[in-house]
Structures are given as C-alpha cells and as structure tokens.
C-alpha cells in the first residue's frame, strides 16, 4: 500500500490535484470535506450536526471526522492505497489516523504540502464559489475563519509528520499541470 496526505490550506488545489492523482496511481480518494457534504446532501444526522460547523468555517469535531475515516478505511480493504485530502486537520486527527493505519498494518508514506500565499487562496475560493455553490467559499468572513483555523490548528499536522521526516513542501503556484508534475515526481521517487 502507498498512503499519502495531500496537505495545504483551503484553496491550495488539493481537490483538483487529488482527482488527477487518483486517476494516475489508482489510489482511493478520501476527502473528509466531500464525505461531509454527501452526509449533508443525504440529510443524515451526522450531516445535520456537521453543517453548522462547516457553514461557520469551523472544524467539525474530531470524533465525528475520525469515525467517518475509520469506517471508510475499513470499507476499502484491498485498495492500492489512500489519498487523504483535507484530513487530518488537527494533531489529534493525525494521531488517530496513525493508529488506524497501524491497525491495518500500514502507515502514511509521505505528506505532500502545497504552499500558496494567503492572498491567492482568497482569490481561488472566490473563483471556486461561482461554480461549486459552496457557501463556505463565498463569504469573506468564513474564508478568513477557515484560513485562521488552518494556521492555528491544522499546521500542527505538518509539524507532527515533520518529526518523522515525512513532509515535502511544494510550490502550489503555477498551472494545474505544473503542480501535478511536481507531485508525481515526489510520488514516483518513493514507489
């Protein structure tokens, strides 16, 4: 198995690059944002609980997200590996993910971090809101909140994996294809 985390702030291009990477490497895409949005669309109890956090740009509680990922990993035994997108977002989630993967006799092999300046992130969220219909992309206050949550809570995930020398920083500015080829180079050198 080859498991990777695509890491970066909201609007750094994780979703776009994930789609290309799973097509090329046959990995299972595990985006907690997508899973939560489908719970909301299905009007499930979990979705109703998550929606108010997401609309405010806050993180959904760790226990909810970790439970969702646990179920998704168990439901996808036998895959080539997982591409985690938007997860983990806190140190507690990172530790829980390490434990979960260990219980399946595997681990995170690399964390590919997309570095994008804050000004550019806001522009991308505004652009994405026009086609995605995501309310959390359209509201300037929610955009700022999501970036500050990233800074205050999510950057700790990079520190966690840095301690194991698993983090590679890449320039997230450029064309989709340029960034994709940077990511592929890192993956190919590890497989």
Min dist. Cβ of residue 133 to ligand AMP (A): 13
Q: Is 146 in the site for ligand AMP (CB under 6 A)?
A: yes
Of 33, 39, 82, 179, the residue at the interface with ligand AMP (CB under 6 A) is 33
Min dist. Cβ of residue 174 to ligand AMP (A): 21
- Candidates 19-27, 74-82, 83-91, 166-174; binding stretch for ligand AMP (CB under 6 A): 83-91
Min dist. Cβ of residue 89 to ligand AMP (A): 4
Q: In what order do the strands lie in the sheet with 4-7?
A: 28-31, 82-85, 4-7, 110-115, 167-171
| Cα–Cα distance for residue pair 157/93, rounded to 1 Å | 8
| Cα–Cα distance for residue pair 77/155, rounded to 1 Å | 29
Min dist. Cβ of residue 25 to ligand AMP (A): 20
Cβ neighbours of residue 159 under 8 Å, at least 6 residues apart?
91
Instruction: Find the radius of gyration of the CA atoms of the chain.
Output: 16
| Cα–Cα distance for residue pair 79/73, rounded to 1 Å | 9
Element holding 26 (H helix, E strand): none
Of 12, 17, 18, 32, the residue at the interface with ligand AMP (CB under 6 A) is 32
Q: Report yes or no: 29 and 109 within 8 Å, Cβ to Cβ.
A: no
Q: Is 53 in the site for ligand AMP (CB under 6 A)?
A: yes
Of 86, 114, 125, 183, the residue at the interface with ligand AMP (CB under 6 A) is 86
| Cα–Cα distance for residue pair 106/98, rounded to 1 Å | 9
Residues in a beta bridge with 84:
5, 30
Min dist. Cβ of residue 9 to ligand AMP (A): 9
Q: Is 124 in the site for ligand AMP (CB under 6 A)?
A: no
- Candidates 39-47, 85-93, 113-121, 176-184; binding stretch for ligand AMP (CB under 6 A): 85-93
* Locus of tokens 């740009």: 57
Of 22, 27, 65, 112, the residue at the interface with ligand AMP (CB under 6 A) is 65
Q: Which positions lie near ligand AMP, rule CB under 6 A?
A: 10, 32-33, 36, 53-54, 57-60, 65, 86-87, 89, 93, 136, 146
């Amino acid at each position: 198995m080859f498991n990777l985390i695509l890491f970066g702030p909201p609007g750094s291009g994780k979703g776009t690059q994930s789609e290309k990477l799973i097509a090329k490497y046959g990995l299972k895409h595990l985006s907690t944002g997508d899973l939560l949005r489908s719970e909301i669309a299905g009007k499930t109890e979990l979705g109703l609980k998550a929606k108010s956090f997401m609309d405010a740009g806050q993180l959904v509680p760790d226990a909810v997200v970790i439970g969702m990922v646990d179920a998704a990993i168990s439901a996808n035994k036998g895959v080539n590996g997982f591409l985690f997108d938007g997860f983990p977002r806190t140190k507690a989630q990172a530790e829980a993910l390490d434990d979960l993967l260990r219980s399946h006799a595997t681990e995170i092999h690399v964390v590919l971090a997309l570095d994008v300046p804050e000004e550019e992130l806001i522009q991308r969220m505004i652009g994405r809101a026009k086609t995605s219909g995501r309310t959390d992309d359209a509201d300037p206050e929610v955009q700022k909140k999501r970036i500050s949550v990233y800074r205050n809570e999510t950057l700790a995930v990079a520190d966690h994996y840095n301690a194991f020398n698993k983090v590679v920083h890449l320039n997230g500015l450029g064309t989709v294809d340029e960034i994709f080829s940077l990511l592929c180079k890192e993956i190919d050198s590890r497989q």
